[in-house]
Amino acid sequence: MCHKGLEASWSIEIDQLTKYYGKHIGVKDLSMSVRTGDFYGFIGPNGAGKTTAIKTLVNLLIPTSGEVRILGANTAKHLDKIKDRIGFMPSEVNLYEDLTVEGLLQMNRSYYKKRGGQVKQDQMKAYEKKVIDCLEIDVTKRFKALSLGNRKKVGFLMSIAHEPEVLILDEPTSGLDPLIQDELMKLLSERHQAGTTILLSSHTLSEVENNCITVGLIKEGRMIMQDDISRLKRMNLKHVEVYIDPAELQSLLNWANRIGAVQSEPARSSGASKVVLFKTAAAITDVMQTLSQVATRDVNIFDPTLEDLFMHYYQQKEVK
């Protein structure tokens, strides 16, 4: 167990986690922390180690080395003490095939009967109805008759129905239509506003950018970086869009080489001008000062998206 009082600072901690599958590595010396009350976006490509880390967190996998903690408890040893305070949704939802959705919900509620009694049961029923209405869930159908998307909805409902303190979701919106995705994210936002700590694994970077506070980037089982999204977007990385006379294109490319700007896409025509898009980590003052030496027609400078930052970090690591 962690030191007393630590729970108030960190709801989720992964400390130098390594997990091997035989000779193949899932994660290597992975460390990350999720503040209490945070909405944390956990992103990376397929095979990066996100699901391995999440399954280890909830004790579905045993670490090769390292330690994971939720609410101060080492989940490999003490998950039973905090299980009713956690919600978990796996990327693939597999439940009892012959039960109806209502039957699954009744079973789910029964897990919390001893801890919360009838009051908890009534609270869960009320919240279930809200989620069922929002996500358009048919509770009369047997689980085996549900489509992939509807199975995801039921998995989400069961993970959140008891209004947990910590909610861990692995690709919850994949396979859902856009309108239902939006409703699901609204429900998550409400839970976050109510104080739930959320760890969200997602491939949809716009989803993370629009909803999360903190983001962690993982690649090949290692954490590349983790930081507040707002701070990441205030970094020096900028997009510079330059309109120029086609005859001055080589001068512009020489400028880019001097300042370390990288052309993001092929030049395109716009009327009598060529338009070239660059990305650069140079200071804005340096960009403008050096660009003044090139006969530009117009310049636009704008902030990157999370996807731009994501690719920038990955490319940096690949170069190293």
Question: Among 73, 51, 52, which residue's Cα sits nearest to residue 3?
Answer: 73
Please state, in angstroms and rounded to a whole number, the distance separating the CA atoms of residues 174 and 319.
31
Q: Which domains does the chain have, with CATH numbers?
A: 6-227 (3.40.50.300), 238-303 (3.30.70.260)
Pairing verdict, β 238-244 and 222-228:
unpaired
Query: CA torsion angle for 108, 111, 114, 118 (degrees, to 10)?
Result: 0
DSSP state of 80: H
Name the residue type at position 144: K
As given in the structure block, the two tokens for residue 282 are: 């140079």
Q: Alpha-carbon distance 121 to 108, whole Å? A: 10
State the pairing for strand pair 222-228/214-219.
antiparallel
pLDDT of residue 7: 45
Taking the C-alpha atoms of residue 309 and residue 233, their distance in angstroms, rounded to an integer, is 8
Phi and psi torsions of 318, nearest 5°: -70, -35
pTM for this one?
A: 0.78
Spatial CA neighbour of 101 closest among 129, 60, 134: 129
Task: Please return the burial class of 43, using the count of CB atoms within 10 Å of its CB with bins 0-12, 13-18 and 19+.
Answer: buried
- Predicted confidence at residue 2, as pLDDT, reads 39
Q: How far from each other are the two terminal CA atoms of the chain, in whole angstroms?
A: 38
Residue 94 burial (CB count, 10 A): 9
Please write the tens of the pLDDT for every residue from 17-50. Answer: 999 998 889 999 999 999 999 999 998 878 889 9
Instruction: Give the pLDDT confidence score for residue 312 in this predicted structure.
Output: 64
CA dist 35 to 166, 171, 229, Å? Answer: 11, 20, 14
Do residues 229 and 287 make contact, with C-beta atoms less than 8 angstroms apart?
A: no
For residue 98, the one-letter residue type is D
- Token pair listed for 7: 């729970």
Please list the ranges in the chain whose pLDDT falls under 50: 1-8, 319-320
Q: Are strands 73-74 and 86-89 parallel, antiparallel or unpaired?
A: unpaired
CB 69 within 8 A of CB 42: no
Report pLDDT for 306: 67
SS3 category, 90: coil
DSSP code of residue 93: -
Measured between alpha carbons, how far is 85 from 87 in angstroms, rounded to an integer? 7
Q: Which pLDDT value is given to residue 17? A: 96
SS3 label, residue 252 = helix
- DSSP per-residue codes, 17-76: EEEEETTEEEEEEEEEEEETT-EEEEE--TTSSHHHHHHHHTTSS--SEEEEEETTEEHH
For 16, the token pair is 């130098």
